[in-house]
């Protein structure tokens, strides 16, 4: 795998951003004054909220780089995750909250887009359930990488994961270009073959438990993808139920923070097996609160709130982001800012930073219409699942053919960091090429 110690992250389908988001303005245009200069946004329907794609692309780029960098020795501590239970964070610790925030922003956009296409609430529920199942499925598979037994399975870890992840990539390919566009039977055949390969891989999988027992796929924890899946399910259902009411959404976010605090003090122990299965306080509490922060921002672009001017949206995002950051700072003495424990302060501080960064992207790209500078981020932002899988697929492929050492001629210090940056650039280039060829992956 690209980096066995790094946690993998995937986000909500960027297809949520393919709907049309109207920018309604007075007298055909809106003026936002920034640093004394008027910035004009013409009245038009945006095909995409470009800032969301670019911000997602930045998080994807950072994720790939830090995952590669995690295998490099002799680099500064600020370039790695904050250790264990240490109170604090590095920029690396903001990658996962960045994905959670993006998932949240996309939820209102995705639901509005599906309603415009005529989806009933029942179909929306089905879509939410299928996406959640896919994330949980992938999460469990990747968590079991830690226990994989080459001897019991009968093949190398690299080959097994190449087959499993490659099959998943084929199954999730949507509207591929090239040959498949003119020969749909080839697409059906390839998906059927991928399904059979994945089924066989799952049947032969064997791992070794801590006590030495040979086991099948185990649910030790949900993994990063599973955490995203549960949080996505939680916030999507809430948003659907309250029909995007911002006051209720803000109250629910506060309840989620309180849920985590209550769990830390044993007040959720009465839930017994449910709490042990999901992790109510951390998963449905603080982690979901990070997604809900994004939901509140995404809600600015849909329904009645979509009539807001860009200036009012920016005002909300700046005030909201600053408020989250300072609330997390004030609560820090309670449980600290600790990523591995998903503390309430970590959630609030990280969500606040993400909100402020996203507001900058929105101002530059969708208000000022300055987009050229972020062109290299957009392919990854619009095809995130492919960008997510590529590092592991490439690493496994090189390991299977016995050439993994070619990927890492340097693995320490500055040369190792440059090596990680080069691999990141290669992954982004491959992702861009495949995206332009029409290969898009959707959960």
- Quick check: 439 and 91 in contact, CB under 8 A? no
Query: What is the reported pTM?
Result: 0.85
Name 39's bridge partners: 32
Model confidence at 411, pLDDT cuts 50, 70, 90, reads confident
Question: Among the listed ranges 6-15, 16-25, 72-81, which one has the minimum average pLDDT value?
Answer: 16-25
Q: Where are the domains of the chain?
A: 45-441
Residue 89 falls in which region: left (phi positive, over 0), alpha (psi -120 to 50) or beta: beta
DSSP structure class, residue 14: G
CA distance 297 to 355: 8
Residue 354, pLDDT score: 97
- Quick check: 377 and 49 in contact, CB under 8 A? no
Find the largest Cα–Cα distance for the chain: 72
Model confidence at 269, pLDDT cuts 50, 70, 90, reads confident
85-106 per-position pLDDT tens digit: 889 999 999 999 999 999 999 9
> What Rg value do the Cα atoms of the chain yield, rounded?
22
* 152-181 residues labelled b (16+ CB within 10 A) or e (exposed): ebebebbbbbbbbbbbbbbbbbeebeeebe
CA distance 166 to 157: 14
Residues 6+ apart with CB under 8 A from 68: 2, 3, 391, 419, 420, 423, 424
271, two tokens: 């839930």
12-30 per-position pLDDT tens digit: 445 555 443 333 333 333 3
174-193 per-position pLDDT tens digit: 765 554 555 667 777 888 99
Please provide residue 208's backbone torsions phi and psi, each rounded to the nearest 5 degrees: -120, 120
39, two tokens: 């910035």
387, two tokens: 């960008």
Question: Among the listed ranges 236-240, 276-280, 305-309, 415-419, which one has the minimum average pLDDT value?
Answer: 305-309
Mean pLDDT of the chain: 85
Q: At what angle do helices 223-242 and 288-298 cross, to 10 degrees?
A: 50
What mean pLDDT is predicted for residues 2-10? Answer: 42
3-state secondary structure 259-287: HHHHHHCCCCHHHCHHHHHHCHHHHHHHH
Q: At what angle do helices 310-335 and 246-264 cross, to 10 degrees?
A: 10
Question: Among the listed ranges 169-178, 306-315, 376-385, which one has the minimum average pLDDT value?
Answer: 169-178
Q: What angle do CA 383, 386, 389 make, to 5 degrees?
A: 150
CA distance 333 to 41: 43
Model confidence at 46, pLDDT cuts 50, 70, 90, reads very low
């Amino acid at each position: 795998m690209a980096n066995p110690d790094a946690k993998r992250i995937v986000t909500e389908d960027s297809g949520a951003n393919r709907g049309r988001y109207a920018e309604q303005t007075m007298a055909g245009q809106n003026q936002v004054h920034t640093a004394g200069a008027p910035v004009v946004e013409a009245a038009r329907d945006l095909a995409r909220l470009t800032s969301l794609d670019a911000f997602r692309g930045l998080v994807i780029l950072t994720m790939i780089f830090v995952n590669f960098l995690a295998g490099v020795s002799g680099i500064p501590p600020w370039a790695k995750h904050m250790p264990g239970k240490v109170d604090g964070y590095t920029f690396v610790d903001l990658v996962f909250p960045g994905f959670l925030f993006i998932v949240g922003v996309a939820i209102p956009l995705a639901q509005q887009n599906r309603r415009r296409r005529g989806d009933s609430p029942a179909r929306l529920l089905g879509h939410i359930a299928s996406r959640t199942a896919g994330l949980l499925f992938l999460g469990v598979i990747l968590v079991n990488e830690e226990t994989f037994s080459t001897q019991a399975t009968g093949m190398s870890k690299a080959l097994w994961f190449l087959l499993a992840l490659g099959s998943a990539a084929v199954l999730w390919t949507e509207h591929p270009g090239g040959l498949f566009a003119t020969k749909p039977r080839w697409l059906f055949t390839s998906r059927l073959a991928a399904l059979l390969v994945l089924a066989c891989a799952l049947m032969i999988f064997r791992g070794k438990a801590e006590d030495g027992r040979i086991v099948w796929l185990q649910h030790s924890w949900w993994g990063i993808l599973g955490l995203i899946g549960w949080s996505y399910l939680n916030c999507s259902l809430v948003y659907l139920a309250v029909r995007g009411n911002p006051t209720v959404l803000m109250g629910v976010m506060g309840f989620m923070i309180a849920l985590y605090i209550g769990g830390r003090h044993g007040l959720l122990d009465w839930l017994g097996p449910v709490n042990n299965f999901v992790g109510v306080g951390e998963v449905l509490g603080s982690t979901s609160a990070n997604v809900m922060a994004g939901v509140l921002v995404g809600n600015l672009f849909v329904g009645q709130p979509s009539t807001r001017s860009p200036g009012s949206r920016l005002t909300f995002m700046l005030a909201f982001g600053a408020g989250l950051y300072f609330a997390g700072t004030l609560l820090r003495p309670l449980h600290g800012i600790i990523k591995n424990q998903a503390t309430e302060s970590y959630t609030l501080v990280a969500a606040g930073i993400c909100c402020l960064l996203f507001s900058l992207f929105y101002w530059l790209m969708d208000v000022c219409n300055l987009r050229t500078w972020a062109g290299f981020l957009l392919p990854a932002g619009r095809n995130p699942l492919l960008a997510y899988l590529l590092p592991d697929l490439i690493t496994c492929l090189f390991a299977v053919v016995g050439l993994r050492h070619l990927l890492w001629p340097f693995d320490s210090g500055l040369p190792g960091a440059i090596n990680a940056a080069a691999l990141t650039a290669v992954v982004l280039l491959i992702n861009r090429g495949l995206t332009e060829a029409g290969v898009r992956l959707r959960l």
